[in-house]
Structure 1
Amino acid sequence: MSGAVREDTRTVVTGLGITAPNGLGTRPYWDAVRAGHSGIGRLTRFDPAGYPATLAGEIDDFDPKAHLPNRLLPQTDQVTRLALVAAEWALADAGVDTAALADFDMGVLTAASSGGFEFAQKELGNLWSKGSGFVSAYQSFAWFYAVNSGQISIRHGMKGPSGVVVSDQAGGLDAIAHARRQIRRGTALMVSGAMDATLCPWGWAALWTSGQLHTGTDPAAAYLPFDERAAGHVPGEGGAILILESADAASARGARSYGEIAGYAATFDPAPHTGREPGLRAAIERALADAGLGPDDIDVVFADAAGLPEPDRIEAEAITAVFGHRGVPVTAPKTMTGRLYSGAGPLDVATALLAIEAGTIPPTINVAQNSGTPLDLVVGGARHATMRAALVLARGYGGFNAAMVLTAPEGRALP
């Protein structure tokens, strides 16, 4: 049961569940990402010919019937199906027997940027074309931001602290941080992370209004953060679900630890044109302070990587201000998946933990290293490195910033 927050409680990740455009499952995804294999291509979920943007990171090998009971299919959107499967994989990876834990000792805290848009579009189409009698009763919740937390908790009998965070791409890190707080309050196990999937006409139109989507047709030149050719990002679907436990509890049951959620901070950008400094640098510095680490302790940065000149410049300046000119390797594996919105941060967290374990930094693909950038971008292939700590950055549309520090588990031999 939850109580007072104990700041000295170390929170570790004991399970990973990944669904991404370039890999369904942790091992297929990791094999693809370290090899630089992209999942970005022309949309096939619907015909995008009438839209300015036609490229996406689409999961094209996911058959929900192979993973979920038939009773769940009529009441779930693509995003919830992905989340349910990822949660099941993460629990299995952690070796968790939910039946052995009290219902109120397990909680679910996820993030979302949209909800079940594809489900909602279909049911609203029924409403407009056929009438209210043809709208599914499941529309009442299948579209909702909190539906993933709800469905995961129902399926696994988790009645502990639960909720949802909505802060766009920063939300995935925010959700993990809130889950860490619940572990520090005494909850035995938290399921956290995020999943997003908006690859339907309604969702696509909503994404387009941001003005940040790439409009070209060549997947190899579509998403180029920190590159002189940067002209927007490519949307994607998927994300990662993580199992969080206290280090003591994980050790007591002999669980594997991927690493520790060692530090976190969130900030908000000032209003435009005020002349005040963006909040990303402060988020980085406060996350390092929360972890009790300095800039020299960080071995790699997983960048937010907006793929637009001005946001990229702001991020590069923030990283350089903290770590120095080319002071730390920087990578953006999301160039292989597209921006997964709330799912991006948790996927980067999972990728960073896998990178620390393997001693391999996955590359930023298709981007050319140029002499003008202050960043030491990992391009042209994966880079082998000894790593003990990683920093993950995420920013949300409208001014959200989040930074999370991950460290290798104690006692693990370095690769």
Structure 2
Amino acid sequence: MASKAPLCSRGKGTAMSQLLDTGFESRVPVITGIGVAAPNGLGTDEFWSATRAGTSGIRPITRFPVDRYPVRVAGEIADFVPHEHIPSRLIPSTDRSTQLALTCSGWALTDTGLDLTLLPEFTGSVITTTTFGGVEFIQHELERLWARGPQHVTAYMSYAWFYGVNTGQLSIRHKLKGASGVVVTGQAGGLDAIGQARRRLRDGQRFVVTGGADAPICQYGIAAEATANTFSTGSDPATAYLPFDQAAAGHVPGEGAAMMVLEPLAAARERDVGYGVVAGYGATFDPHVATGRPPNLAKAAKLALADAGLKACDIDVVFADGAGTMAADRAEATAIRDLFGMYGVPVTVPKSMTGRMYGAGAAADVAAALLSLHNGEIPPVVGSTAMADHGIDLVTTPRQAPLRHALVLARGDGGFNSAVVLSAMT
């Protein structure tokens, strides 16, 4: 077990103030708008109210009979009605994940207070991520193909399933014609999209809409993910997904979207807006297990800290990946101990209330971390009790604390590791 990290002096001020000292105000990326749709809250305010209170949205699956599937509960969004949030003409041509992304991007842009009609048409970009693409759309069209024949498969099938479709639909819907893109790195994608969005901003883009969306709670989506053998088979929503717990036995799936808007600090200050600064970002890839070499999650975190100009002791809270399997949780706990020492920093896993929302999961963690910094409170892990040999300070009840810097960790299947450091505005 790692020993407690040596004491160190905290950095001077916030990462933002350090950048300002060097005259790079135009390069400081600030998140000015947030839109979240999650199983425990539709809309950012509902999501945060539920998350801070420890209210879970995990419940028995209602979309289809689960008898022949290895998972019984999931994070379903029960109250999302697409017609109430996006134009009806878009619904036949879009998957549920795209409908969630369109809705949340609209909320995020409204949250910024930007008047897009006053900005040149090439000033806005879009960078999104998804793990499954339009998996429910695919399922419905395959059902039509086998039941009724190819002439009944819609032409929308040619793009509605595609991993890049959310970026395309968002750019069309909001008339954002700047250089855009998509990243596909599984659960890590939410952080990687934000890292790419920050790069676009530093290259001169006026603002970037970024985040992730996934909606895999359907037969095809569950069947595809089941091949990884990481689902929890528990039927009790309160105990099926227990990150870092002795009884951890896999994760439950979740659906949702979390979209954000990045702008330069100077633009945010003009309107007196901003939730926090994207101060640092790092990404690594794990070596193949056959090599015997250790995973690289801690290295990704160190890269993000160095990018932010901060030390480990500057971090006030870690939003962990929390895979929910014994081996993956032990590896993450080891990485956290290596960085912070035994019980060296509060650790939380808000996705314990939503399930792992794949492309949306880490992006939703960023939203929760920003709201934590903004409100000075750490949301809890629901249901879990940390194993003693993990050596981490797992936050199991809501905790008030002065917060300046948060570290968000994420891992995707196949070896993707990503880390983002977020800093308070002041």
**How does the TM-score come out when normalised to structure 1?**
0.96
Correspondence for 2:361: 344
Tell which deviates more after alignment, 318-327 or 127-136.
Answer: 127-136
* Cα offset, 1:8, TM superposition: 7.2
Q: Is the 8 A contact 2:334 2:390 kept in 1?
A: no
Q: 2:110 aligns with which of 53, 70, 92?
A: 92
| 2:6 alignment counterpart | none
What is the alpha-carbon root mean square deviation over aligned residues? 1.1
Q: 2:180 — aligned with what? A: 162
Letter in 1 for 2:234: G
How do residues 4-23 of structure 1 correspond to structure 2 at under 5 angstroms? 9-23=27-41
2:329 aligned partner? 312
1:141 alignment partner, SS class: helix
Change beyond 3 A, Cα 1:148–1:407: same
Secondary structure of 1:231's counterpart equals: coil
Provide the rounded CA distance (Å) in 1 between the counterparts of 2:211 and 2:88: 25
State the alpha-carbon separation in 1 of the partners of residues 294 and 35 from structure 2: 37
Structure 2: distance between partners of 1:217 and 1:345 = 25
Match for 1:268 among 285, 294, 300?
A: 285
Whether 2:169 is the aligned partner of 1:151: answer: yes
* Match in the other structure for 1:119: 137
SS of the residue 2:410 aligns to: strand
**Which amino acid in the other structure matches residue 208 of structure 2?**
M
Equivalent in the alignment of 2:58 = 40
Q: Report if the CA contact (8 A) 2:26-2:265 is conserved.
A: no
Alignment of 1:57-72 (within 5 A): 57-72=75-90
Tell me whether 46-55 or 319-328 shows the greater mean CA deviation: 46-55
Look up the equivalent residue of 2:169 and give its one-letter code. Q
TM-score, normalised on structure 2? 0.93
Per-residue deviation, 1:372? 2.9
1:129 to 107, 122, 147: 147
- 1:400 is matched with 416
Given candidates 246, 250, 271, the residue that maps to 1:232 is 250
Tell whether the 8 Å contact from 1:224 to 1:231 is kept in structure 2 after alignment. yes
CA separation in 2, counterparts of 1:249 and 1:7? 10
Q: 1:243 aligns to what SS in structure 2?
A: strand
5 Å-filtered alignment, 1:246-261, equals 246-252=264-270, 254-261=271-278
Deviations 1:380-399 (A, max 9, x none): x2000000000000000000
1:278 counterpart = 2:295: yes
Residue 193 of structure 1 corresponds to 211
* One-letter amino acid of the counterpart of residue 122, structure 2: F
Structure 1, gaps ≥5 residues long = 1-5, 411-415
Answer whether contact 1:95 1:255 (CA < 8 A) is retained: no
Give distance in 1, aligned partners of 2:389 and 2:193. Answer: 35
CA distance in 1, matches of 2:378, 2:417: 23
CA distance in 1, matches of 2:329, 2:388: 16
Distance between the aligned counterparts of 1:188 and 1:372, measured in 2? 47
Question: How many residues are aligned here?
Answer: 403
Quick one: percent identity of the two aligned structures? 54
Displacement after TM superposition at 1:239 (Å)? 2.7
SS in 2 for 1:273: helix
CA shift, 1:63, in A, is: 0.6
Q: 2:40 and 2:231 mapped to 1: Cα distance? A: 20
The one-letter amino acid of 2:273's match is R
Q: What corresponds to 1:356 in structure 2?
A: 373
Q: Which amino acid aligns with 1:44?
A: T
Q: Distance in 1 between matches of 2:148 and 2:343?
A: 60
Distance in structure 2 (CA, Å) of the matches to 1:213 and 1:371: 24
SS of 1:159's equivalent in the other structure is: coil
> Which consecutive unaligned segments of at least 5 residues does structure 2 have?
1-23
- 1:370 offset after TM fit, Å? 4.0
Q: In 2, distance between residues paired with 1:240 and 1:70?
A: 22
